Structure 1
């Protein structure tokens, strides 16, 4: 699958080149406008995002069902608030199968909190630097400056798409009538590809500009590399980074050599690439299109934006779609005003999804059974489904047969079904807690008597400890006690299913 999908990233890279290729048109300084968009300011906004997968011919009913499910998905932001570049909140709804699931989201330096309608506690995703990576906050301003210089450099040399128009319009943003400058852009895959060579040709001509950009890169990232080396990280470069002149000269020389070599062989390489990967002629063809409308105010801030992106997908075995379509529309107001985000109440606790593995049962128990979120997780996303295949003839699974009863390692099967196993050292009693309902199954080593949710049951044979120290329990009893069924296929494999 990875091999089939890797070429999907190519049009997105080219798309960035095209978007930054809109130089001054009709009095609109696109350079300034794009630079403004790279510097997040406080604002309020609303947005809607929808996806459409166009099915290929003669797809299976199962694929069509999946496509219909994904096509019903949409995300609406009714109240978006940006306090600063690190602090924001959203209120809106997720459309799914004709229903709307309200949500709230807030984000800051520490993490992201998400509250879905019907949840007992919000979900939390930590953004703290706990993975051992260096703190980048001291360098953010320099890195931001380098990013802006990069955009300016690219805009300077990138060609405009052929369909580019600017006009003055009257339109509404959040109900307010405004005089705006509308920038309309249209481009298809073929034109996008044709813009690469002219862009790189202009880059090569501007040796001084390229060197200035590399110097900006050095100024932004040299402190980062130094800090990482001091903390014991391998920065992965053999460049003489301690000397700015030497480092800039080395990077510039290698980059110019690579660019010249690439351009000298560009046409032949492109032809060979298209020959070796014919799918690209579809992805980068006439049917892959981008239409965008930007609406700028007098300060050249984007106040409104509409986008329709279509990526054509080549035919192929196992590919059930012929195109992916993405539509977005957004409005922005109160730019630069004092904005306070809507914080989510976490006083009753959170479900920290970054703190270990969250089991399906834990996730479901956090939602009211009648809520759309619960029904979606259980019935549509099927997060409780399990399908375990075990070969009784292979030692790997540790299955032991005795008197027509198949035994399985208790901990292995329990944990495969997300159950928690508790065994007090020195005791013969084992407690298994069902993940989905919290019910306790109590077993005793050497006994065929057990309880399930307090009700006494008899096992077909007693629980025992093997000579290797592994505790074994009758397979069918354990599986069925945890809500699964056991069947055997024609080849003798045991199949444990849980819906």
Structure 2
């Protein structure tokens, strides 16, 4: 156990993973079998809501902290219609709400990519899936095998998980998508301090299952080896792996069991040392960290309804204005295994493909109506147009030079910092710089003491010039201010350029 590399804020995720993974049979109900059923990808329709709540510390907190807490607490994700046609075709319609605003969206995915249409967008945002990107194999050809591997892994880990102390099963009649359904209700509640006691028995059971480890690694070999071979040739002949599946499975299984046994041999001491070195963990994994989970299964062991509430207690800290984080989730599922047709986003009018080069802040903003909530959120709240650049005039990296009491900077460097486009018109001996945010143009002519900014003539103190190595220099303050930035120089000569 590498104590020095554990990030205590990430550890509560272990609580979710272990408890949600599965338990042994309760009251004759095979929980593991039921949960394994949920791992299998099948057609379905569903709706879901998720929210987060930050619990402030007792006492007075700053107005700024209160504003942030209130904003986060107002955020809610609602999925009104999620349709899974198969593992390659999915669509979701929903909205993100915050404060008194609501941002509707429509997302769809197929084997070529994912499209997201947000209210106010002129074109959907598109994330293409290029199977040949960076020499990677076509993953769509392996999706079925990857699904089988995930099912095998879930089956392996499920059978070794111990039950928490508070777990029960009872019959219930619930409404799912407007229809009353007879279901089996699984209720689980687990505290953070109990989780610590569940991990060691889980690892001990894993270590004893030699055949189960071999079967899982064998399945992983069948799926992963062809992909690695496609990327890098014959891995066995290269010495990267043993030359046969049997030898590879035997070697990896032995290594995995050896590491598990080493971990278990020092587990109690390592855990004690970890808690001593990081006392904050005693709060995170204490009695006030609680997961409450309700899962409703139908007669075919399909999950039809879920509700979960996770409270993560946080240790007191001078700069931390919250004492706990609460996460809530509710969902309903229906038409499982039935005929479901995903609803693709309409891309007939084109898309903004974020995988095609770098999407600049200006490109993103121009894709939204300036009166839309998303535009205001991106520009005013997220401040995606903000640029803050520090320039050291004494460092050759920045290339700042002084000429006739005017500071010059390489045009290409500063323009790229502001995502501006630069084009050289050799016939007119001039340079055209296009502002990324406004789309306005700045025209500079080499050797001329005048420039044009958005059609208006501007006098320059000193003209732009090209030095002996072909680098074009422009007056620093002129080009920065023309791109909507302000320039300040401190007492030592260091330069700050900022665009709001």
Q: Aligned residue for 1:457?
A: 458
State the 1:150 CA deviation. Answer: 2.6
SS class of match (2:90): strand
**Does the residue aligned with 1:131 lie in a helix, a strand or coil?**
helix
311-320 or 81-90, which moves further after superposition? 311-320
Q: Name 1:173's counterpart in structure 2.
A: 176
CA distance in 2, matches of 1:386, 1:212: 53
Q: Which residue of 1 aligns with 2:86?
A: 84
Aligned partners of 1:18 and 1:195 also within 8 Å? no
Shift of 1:5: 8.0
Asked whether the equivalents of residues 228 and 235 of structure 1 are also in contact (C-alpha less than 8 Å), the reply is: no
Distance 2:21 2:190 in 1: 13
Q: Which moved more, 1:60-69 or 1:428-437?
A: 60-69
8 Å contact from structure 1 (residues 21, 161) kept in 2: no
Q: Which residue of 2 aligns with 1:355?
A: 356
Which runs of structure 2 are paired with 1:59-458 in the superposition (5 Å)?
61-129=63-131, 130-230=133-233, 238-240=240-242, 242-316=243-317, 319-425=320-426, 427-458=428-459
Deviations 1:157-209 (A, max 9, x none): 21101111111111111111111111111112111121011112222333333
Counterpart for residue 11 of structure 1: 12
Distance 1:364 1:40, change over 3 A: same
The separation in 1 between residues aligned to 2:36 and 2:155, in whole angstroms, is 8
2:52 match: 51
> Which 10-residue stretch deviates more, 216-225 or 243-252?
216-225
CA distance in 2, matches of 1:210, 1:181: 32
Once the two structures are TM-superposed, the CA of residue 222 in structure 1 deviates from its matched residue by 3.9
Question: What does the per-residue CA deviation read over 1:4-34, in whole Å, with 9 as the maximum and x for residues that have no partner?
Answer: 9833333323532232341211232212211
Is the partner of 1:185 in helix, strand or coil? strand
Using the TM superposition, give the Cα deviation of residue 455 of structure 1 relative to its aligned residue in structure 2, in angstroms.
1.6
Distance in 1 (alpha carbons) for counterparts of 2:199 and 2:417: 50
Question: Which deviates further from its counterpart, 465-474 or 160-169?
Answer: 465-474
CA contact (8 A) 1:181 1:296 kept: yes
How many residue pairs align between the two structures? 495
Q: Deviations over 1:120-152 (max 9, x none)?
A: 111001122223212344444344333323322
Would the aligned equivalents of 1:229 and 1:235 in 2 still touch at CA under 8 Å?
no
- Judge conservation of contact 1:14–1:193 (CA < 8 Å) in 2: no
Question: Paired residue for 2:467?
Answer: 466
Which range moves more in the overlay, 284-293 or 245-254? 245-254
Normalised to the residue count of structure 1, the TM-score between the two structures is: 0.92
- CA–CA distance in structure 1, aligned partners of residues 229 and 407 of structure 2: 61
Question: What secondary structure sits across from 1:383 in the alignment?
Answer: coil
Determine helix, strand or coil for the equivalent of 1:397.
Answer: coil
- Partners of 2:173 and 2:321 in 1: CA distance: 42
CA 1:213 to 1:393, structure 2 compared with 1: closer, same or farther past 3 Å?
A: closer
User: CA 1:125 to 1:142, structure 2 compared with 1: closer, same or farther past 3 Å?
Assistant: closer
Give the SS at the match of 1:260: helix
Once residues 165 and 252 of structure 2 are traced to their aligned partners in structure 1, the CA distance between those partners, rounded to angstroms, is: 34
Q: CA–CA distance in 1 between the matches of 2:237 and 2:161?
A: 31
SS of 1:435's equivalent? coil
Name structure 1 gaps, 5 residues minimum. Answer: none
**In 2, Cα distance between equivalents of 1:221 and 1:467:** 55
Gap change, CA 1:390 and 1:318, over 3 Å in 2: farther
Contact 1:293–1:307, Cα closer than 8 Å, also in 2: yes
Aligned to 1:482: 483
For residues 142 and 344 of structure 2, the distance between their equivalents in structure 1, rounded to whole angstroms, comes to: 28
Relative to 1, partners in 2 of residues 1:427 and 1:313: Cα closer, same or farther, differing over 3 Å?
A: farther
Structure 2 alignment gaps of length 5 or more = none
Shift of 1:90: 1.0
Alpha-carbon distance between aligned partners in 2 of 1:266 and 1:332, rounded to the nearest angstrom: 41
Q: TM-score, normalised by structure 2?
A: 0.92
> Could you say if the C-alpha distance between residues 429 and 139 of structure 1 is closer, same or farther in structure 2, counting changes exceeding 3 Å?
closer
When structure 1 is superposed on structure 2, of 254-263 and 31-40 the one drifting more is 254-263
Q: Confirm or deny: 8 A CA contact 2:146 2:223 kept in the other structure.
A: yes
In 1, Cα distance between the equivalents of 2:412 and 2:61?
41
Cα pair distance change 1:344/1:269, threshold 3 Å: same
Task: State how far apart, in whole Å, the 2-side matches of 1:159 and 1:285 are.
Answer: 19
